[in-house]
């Protein structure tokens, strides 16, 4: 995910890699930036990804659990921000495909989560509307860093 992270940093996003998740496990990447907070889950699946009839699949398998996990992480970040009085900071979940054969998968929203190949991450984030003042971005980053420590 390093190549995507550098592209996002160049666009004003601050990375918080490999954070503890209150729902268990870890959050691969959190980015705090001028358009809010992005919760990214990196996937290196060997089967191609497809989206049909509102369902994401790898091969013949539905990936509902992967989408649900990202939504749970988004909800956890929203809760922490709400408690800190930062309820106006938008939080969005993403599943990013980092390996072949899906690294060029075009962005598509599935069940409230954006799914996309790593080749589209920088352009997707560059297109986000910058709506947050730098002071709010810094506050959100500090709150998230304290609430979600680095995973060991």
* pLDDT given for residue 4 in this prediction: 63
Report the pLDDT averaged over residues 45-68.
92
* pLDDT given for residue 20 in this prediction: 92
Q: Could you tell me the residue ranges of all domains in the chain?
A: 2-141
- Give the whole-number percent of the chain exceeding pLDDT 90: 70
Confidence bin at 149 (pLDDT 50/70/90):
very high
Instruction: Note the pLDDT tens digit of each residue in 77-132.
Output: 999 999 999 999 999 999 999 988 999 999 999 999 999 999 998 877 766 677 89
* pLDDT given for residue 1 in this prediction: 54
CA dihedral 45, 152, 82, 23 (to 10 degrees): 60
Report the pLDDT averaged over residues 138-146.
96
Maximum distance among all Cα pairs of the chain, rounded to whole angstroms: 46
DSSP at 148: S
Instruction: Note the pLDDT tens digit of each residue in 59-84.
Output: 889 999 999 999 999 999 999 999 99
* Coil, helix or strand at residue 22: coil
DSSP at 63: -
Which of 3.40.1350, 2.40.128, 3.30.420, 3.30.200 is the CATH number of 2-141?
3.40.1350
């Amino acid at each position: 995910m390093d190549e995507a992270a550098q592209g996002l940093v160049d666009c004003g996003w601050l990375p918080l890699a490999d954070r503890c998740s209150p729902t268990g496990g870890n959050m691969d990447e959190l980015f705090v930036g001028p358009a809010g907070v992005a919760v990214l889950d990196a996937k290196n699946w060997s089967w191609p990804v497809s989206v049909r009839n509102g369902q994401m699949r790898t091969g013949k398998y539905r990936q509902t659990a992967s989408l649900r996990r990202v939504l749970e992480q988004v909800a956890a970040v929203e809760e922490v921000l709400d408690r800190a009085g930062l309820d106006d900071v938008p939080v969005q979940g993403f599943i990013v495909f980092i390996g072949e054969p899906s690294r060029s998968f075009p962005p598509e929203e599935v069940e409230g989560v954006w799914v996309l190949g790593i080749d589209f991450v920088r352009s997707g984030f560059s297109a986000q509307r910058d709506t947050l003042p730098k002071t709010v971005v810094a506050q959100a980053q500090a709150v998230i860093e304290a609430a979600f420590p680095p995973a060991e």
